[in-house]
A and B are shown apart, each in its own frame.
Chain A
């Protein structure tokens, strides 16, 4: 039978991506005992590590290169982030990120990260790998306990307060429980919910379900960002080709060979691909618009093998040698496919979930003792994310969550035996002898992803989402009914269940928001509706049901936002 080992720690951090490790380092600075758990290996298999973008903050003259221009001042960064996020962002959180960001980026140097090398394509590819190695080393040197292969199944709450967490230790083949005064959820997003995504297989939204079960609420879950230029060539990995697009002006063509973006973006001249730097803030949601245009073309039957073509043939051969990322992407990741001879198939893929656990400025959630940071949280990016903010968010809020958790861990939590036993029994009840169900689980996982991609994907309609919801509920039930043979298979089962549950949360929120805003696009309501929908949607678990609530947005900084040179009207 399974045994449970109970460990004591002051701060428990779930997830070892950028946010998790930054939180661990910060909490350790306060001298408390810190344990970092990850369901797989530490620090090397997460979205930060495989991030292909840079980091942007108000650091003019310090970190500006030909590739990335930094913001002139935090105020400008704030304004752009708010306008880009179409006001779904929490002003307080955006203020923290933009005004604290520069200091946090410079601070990385003291943690062993050579910011310049790590971020500007010189040494590493993917670019996030330059960030993760030093953070893991620093956390280890500072004396954090690191536990890979630990799948957390529930947050233990007693008397309305978090007292620890329970899960299974795959590598040692037993159940584990942690007694801790503060728990930080830094588990990342849920882009894996969609069939096409360019994140790692681990982004299954585990933190969202943990938070829901613990009683915390999630916000703006309908917002999922899609990256347009993700490879769809058979035999090639699903990776985005954004770097090629930004530097070289590749052209998107449909099966007829037309440069179709001109139809969807009137401001675009034929032969040019738009991107943020070319158009500035005039088109805030450029990524979303390009993604929508591509999917619309394919839906209209003008796609080639269910995708569109990305033409890079006109790029002079010498240009490919100019930077490391494009050389690597072209020669290694393309497996000898020659983009200079024929166009490559691309189709959008999910890149991150912008909604997530609702937090305040100190990363506190609704449950005392429970904190969250990074992509697992919502409200920082609003309805669309600025390029470069994806890495800034975990660095800033990771540090904040670590500090808050360290300060909140000054309690003597007592975990009752019943709670631990309950968690163990939950695991034991799905372990069974007999035939393995891996194939069934794989099929269910595929069905969830396919349903989400086809019915709750980029172009959403009320009917399609309404049809998807019972399917997702049923799939979740079918996953719950499966039995597994080993702890490793238990992890697959839990991930599949999380995908179905998070998919259901996203679908429910998308069905309720009857407008289009940022990355959320409803073909039946294609306009932004500021009269009705200047609201944030919150969701919490109410028994077996999800309870959605709305909270109106009241902007404090309306005057500042009005000063924007592109003059987007704020009501």
Chain B
């Protein structure tokens, strides 16, 4: 394994080895992930599907350093997450873009300010430069100047999800994690959002791991992973 690593020209964006995770204590203990190993290369778009409750979101939050690793090893963007402290997990999160199921925009900020919260994480940029960055990304996801000044409350579901994508990309992530980004969208909008996501990620050479059980978008994937009952099924092409 170690020898393998030395010959690798580019280190993987994500590499997971025999990861297990469970919730609850004692008799209430429930295993949600069992012996998962996977690898995602930079620039790769990977889709993760499976029935609900099979542990997809848990796996995603573990990769996103939002949960403490219990068993196994998780390496994300060159940082080992098992046993990592609060500070190093925060450092990793900075380089990961997150798109959540419920978009999770800040209700009190306009679309533009929401995206700028992402851009604000970039070091050594002036306020104006960060705002321009935010505007560029919002235009890239297809929002006009009027919509940029609106609160999430006044935007449609598709527009909110586009803002969430823009926010995730505004911090120049090396890895994008998306949890059912199309769940709240109709099929046409969902398709547009996913195509956009893939295009923008490609341009940034950013790896993408997308959890979905929307069969209509499976074809955007370079690779498809399937999960069932906490286990990763053998790869299908």
A binds B: no
Spell out A's residues near B (CB within 8 Å): none
Spell out B's residues near A (CB within 8 Å): none
